[in-house]
Amino acid sequence: MTSHTAALCPCGSNLPYAQCCMPYHQGVAIPPNAEALMRSRYSAYVLAHVDYLKATWHPDTLPATFALDEQERVQWLGLQVKRHALRDDDHASVEFVARYKINGRAHRLHEVSRFVREQGRWYYLDGAIESPR
């Protein structure tokens, strides 16, 4: 067992990573709802699981080129889920705030993400950045 599997999951669930997002990242389980997918995607950003991010991004909106920029070292600081809303059985949104630092400077990403479920699997569709108030 690697050291981060016993550590708390980066998604903020207060569960060990091995009991939270790791099964999704390893492909042995699929997130049951849009919030679980969003949390697992946040953890994938923290842990640099690019393949998982691509696999959970809806093919209609996946950028032609997607990679985590190694030049800008992002230090993820935390995730707060503000709202998870199910529009119908196959469409949902999740509002969240992710805090992070780049080159020592603190930032906040406040987004309302849209998700769609196809063939029993949730996918990230897109997101609208919320302006600071």
d(CA 125, CA 107): 23
> For residue 125, is pLDDT > 50?
yes
Q: What would the pLDDT profile of 41-94 be if each residue is shown by its tens digit?
A: 999 999 999 999 999 999 999 998 887 766 567 899 999 999 999 999 999 999
pLDDT of residue 3: 52
Identify the structural domains of the chain with CATH numbers, from first to last.
3-61+73-129 (3.10.450.50)
Burial-class residue 124 by CB neighbours within 10 Å (0-12, 13-18, 19+): buried
Average pLDDT of the residues of the chain: 92
> For residue 1, is pLDDT > 90?
no
> What is the full DSSP assignment across 85-123?
EEEETTEEEEEEEEEEEETTEEEEEEEEEEEEEETTEEE
The pTM of the full predicted model, rounded to 2 decimals, is 0.90
